[in-house]
Structure 1
């Protein structure tokens, strides 16, 4: 049986952030276990696939769209937003401007017509360059909270928290799927499922408690 057929759910995830923050390095480290000191800037969109088992006998296929950070490619990359279940917002801990632009990347996705919500994760990358840090952890956590996202600091070079970051996002999407906040739809490619789910219905508004991935 082909490896590609051995999955129960498929999640599409889009990588977002300024050019040179290390989106491609993160994905290459996670999906291929490789770190390259020098990588060409992404032109348009690159594609990665990774399989992960988040529970015994529950295999998830992750499809990653690695988008270019340059403004001239924005019209191309926007077309991938609406078919994504997850969004990874990446900034460079040594580059203040890349952090300040995160809200713009987040809003760009929110403003794109989408049939379903997106589960976001905020990543502060290049944590191995601690001496050059320009963004504090508490400040980044505050931003993540305002975006209803979890926050984690990573380094593709040292492999710090790379697996943990993508596992956090994968579990977030899966919980949204189980709770009924997200669902497979033949007209939407963000989530595909081969295994039926017994979803937990949403609690009525008057009795609902707020829950966010922050």
Structure 2
């Protein structure tokens, strides 16, 4: 999942960057409202974390600008303001949730995960398709109740595909949402991940969980039957 952090406090921004990266997010960051408005309009994100007190443009102005541009990724507001009026104003500007500083890292992660799941149409932290289960909290994938050992990149790939089950995901979209800027976009690394995932998720070759849509990309099969 790809997250945008908009925070002008450098220490907090780096803390958030580290925390989200450790949780498997691909993270972009900026410190001004103008930069945030540009990034949110020009690039795809799965979620954004926005401080209200930003230089150049306020967090509320940024969120309004995104929504006016039809950018509908979920937004979590960070605010030092505890008044209910400020929270209401943030939500009415187009934000989806808020968190008052200071906050516990675990609460931030839980709120982000919930927003991402709901945006993809999932209300529960566990996604189940036939014998395959993905726990977005523990970041564990199981096949018939047994854990499937995955690398970090493999987990990111299968999580994104399962979150968007039934939707055809292009290679460009998958790369954009899952991998950092230094990822070799011209290599066949993504194809290697997909091939390995198919072997790990479907060792008996009976489920076909990841389908190739010729010329378009990949699609996770939501209609899996138990083997």
Scaled by the length of structure 1, the TM-score of the pair is 0.50
Higher relative contact order (CA 8 A, sep 6+): 1
Scaled by the length of structure 2, the TM-score of the pair is 0.47
Question: Which of structures 1 and 2 has the bigger CA Rg?
Answer: 2
More helix by share: 2
